[in-house]
A and B are shown apart, each in its own frame.
Chain A
Amino acid sequence: MSLRSRRPGLGASLLASVAAAIWILPYAWMVVTSLKPLDEIAQDPTAPFPKHPQLAAYREVFELVPVGRYLLVSLAVAVAIGLLQLALALPAGYALAKLRFVGKKTAFALVVACLLVPAQVTFVSVFLMFSKLSLTNTFSALVLPFAASALGTYLVRQALLSVPDEIIEAARLDGASEVTIIYRILGPLLRPTLVSVFLVSFVFHYSDYFWPLVMTTDDTVRTLPLGIALLKEPGSGVRWHVVMAGNVLLSLPVLALFAIAQKHLIRGVAGRS
Chain B
Amino acid sequence: MKPRSPIHPWLMLGPSLAAWTLFVFVPLGLAAYESLFAWDMLTDPVYVGGANYAAIAESGELGRILGRTLGFSVLVVAGSMALGLGLALLLDRPGRFFAFVRGAIFSAYVVSWVAVALLWVLLLDPDRGVAASLLRVVGLPRVGFLTDPRAALVTLAAVTIWKITGYAMVVFLAGLRSVPQSIHEAASLDGAGAIARFRWVTWPLLKPTAAFVATTSLIVSFQAFDVVRIMTGGGPARATTLFVYAIYEQVFMNLSVGRASALAVVYFLVLCVLAAAQLRAWHSQTVGRRA
Question: Which A residues contact B (CB, under 8 angstroms)?
Answer: 1-6, 8, 12-13, 15-17, 19-20, 22-24, 26-27, 29-30, 33, 41, 45-46, 88-89, 91-92, 94-96, 98-101, 103-104, 107, 110-111, 114, 116-118, 120-129, 144-145, 147-148, 150, 153, 165, 168-169, 172, 177-179, 182, 203, 206-207, 209-210, 213-214, 225-226, 228-229, 232, 240, 243-244, 246-247, 250-251, 254-255, 257-258, 262, 265-266, 269-273
Contacts and interface: CB of A to CB of B under 8 A. Distances in A.
Contacts of B261: 124-125
A122 B24 contact: yes
B32 to A, nearest CB: 9
Given A20-B101, A110-B20, A254-B112, A120 B247 contact: yes
A110 B10 CA distance: 13
Contacts of A15: 90
Contacts of A169: 3
Contact of B103 (A94, A95, A172, A262): A262
B12 A29 contact: no
A16 B103 contact: no
Nearest to B95: A8
B143 interface: no
Nearest to B17: A110
B133 A23 contact: no
B90 A232 contact: no
Contact of B115 (A88, A168, A250): A250
Task: Name the prevailing secondary structure of the A interface residues.
Answer: helix
B12 A91 contact: yes
B113 A207 contact: yes
A15 B92 CA distance: 13
Interface in B157-209: 162, 166-167, 170-171, 173-174, 177-179, 181, 184-185, 188, 194
Given A128-B257, A254-B112, A262-B106, 5 more contacts: A122-B28, A124-B31, A124-B260, A207-B111, A270-B174
A30 B17 contact: no
A178 B110 contact: no
B114 A250 contact: yes
A120 B93 contact: no
